[in-house]
Structure 1
Amino acid sequence: MERERISIMPQFAERVELARAYYDKFYSKTSNRLVFCGINPRQSGSGKTGLPFIDFNGINQLMSGKYKDVQERSAQFMLSIINKYEIGEFQNAVYMTNLSWYGFRRDGKNMNYYNLPRAIRDLFIESFIEEMKIVQPTAIVPLSGEVERKLKKLAADDQLDFPIAERLPHPFNCSFPTNVEKARERYHKCIEQHTGLQI
Structure 2
Amino acid sequence: MTFSDKAIGYYNSLTAPTSLPPEIGVMNPYQSTDVQQIIRLFYNRFYSDTTLRIFVLGINPGRFGAGVTGISFTTPQNLRRYCGIDNDLRDTPELSSRFIYQVIEAFGGAKEFYSRFFLTSLFPLALTKAGKNYNFYDDRATTEALWPAITETVKTQIGFGYDRRAAVCLGRKNETYLRRLNDQQGFFDRIVTLDHPRYILQYKSRDMALYLDQYIRVLADCLPIN
TM score, norm. by length of structure 1 = 0.87
Q: Is the 8 A contact 1:142 1:164 kept in 2?
A: no
Q: Is the 8 A contact 2:52 2:116 kept in 1?
A: yes
**Structure 1 residues 77 and 58, CA gap change in structure 2 (3 angstroms):** same
- What is the CA–CA distance in structure 1 between the aligned matches of 2:212 and 2:52, rounded to whole Å? 22
- What is the CA–CA distance in structure 2 between the aligned matches of 1:187 and 1:150, rounded to whole Å? 21
Match of residue 13 from structure 2: none
Gaps of 5+ in 2: 1-17
- What is the CA–CA distance in structure 2 between the aligned matches of 1:69 and 1:7, rounded to whole Å? 22
Secondary structure, in 3 states, of the residue corresponding to 1:82?
helix
Secondary structure, in 3 states, of the residue corresponding to 1:97?
strand
Q: Is the 8 A contact 2:62 2:126 kept in 1?
A: yes
Q: Is the 8 A contact 2:123 2:149 kept in 1?
A: no
Match of residue 99 from structure 1: 122
Bigger mean CA offset, 63-72 vs 102-111 = 63-72
- What is the CA–CA distance in structure 2 between the aligned matches of 1:117 and 1:194, rounded to whole Å? 29
**Structure 1 residues 96 and 24, CA gap change in structure 2 (3 angstroms):** same
1:78 aligns with 2:100: yes
- Give me the identity figure in percent: 23
- What is the CA–CA distance in structure 1 between the aligned matches of 2:87 and 2:118, rounded to whole Å? 24
**Please, which of 25, 28, 34 is the counterpart of residue 45 of structure 2?**
25
**Please, which of 170, 185, 190 is the counterpart of residue 213 of structure 2?**
185
Gaps of 5+ in 1: none
**Structure 1 residues 13 and 152, CA gap change in structure 2 (3 angstroms):** same
Bigger mean CA offset, 28-37 vs 179-188 = 28-37
Match of residue 125 from structure 1: 151
- Measured against aligned partners, the alpha-carbon deviations of 1:137-182 in whole angstroms (never above 9, x if no partner) come to 341111112321122222222x133123321110112235312101
TM score, norm. by length of structure 2 = 0.77
Match of residue 171 from structure 1: 197
Secondary structure, in 3 states, of the residue corresponding to 2:63?
coil
CA-based RMSD of the aligned residues comes to: 2.2
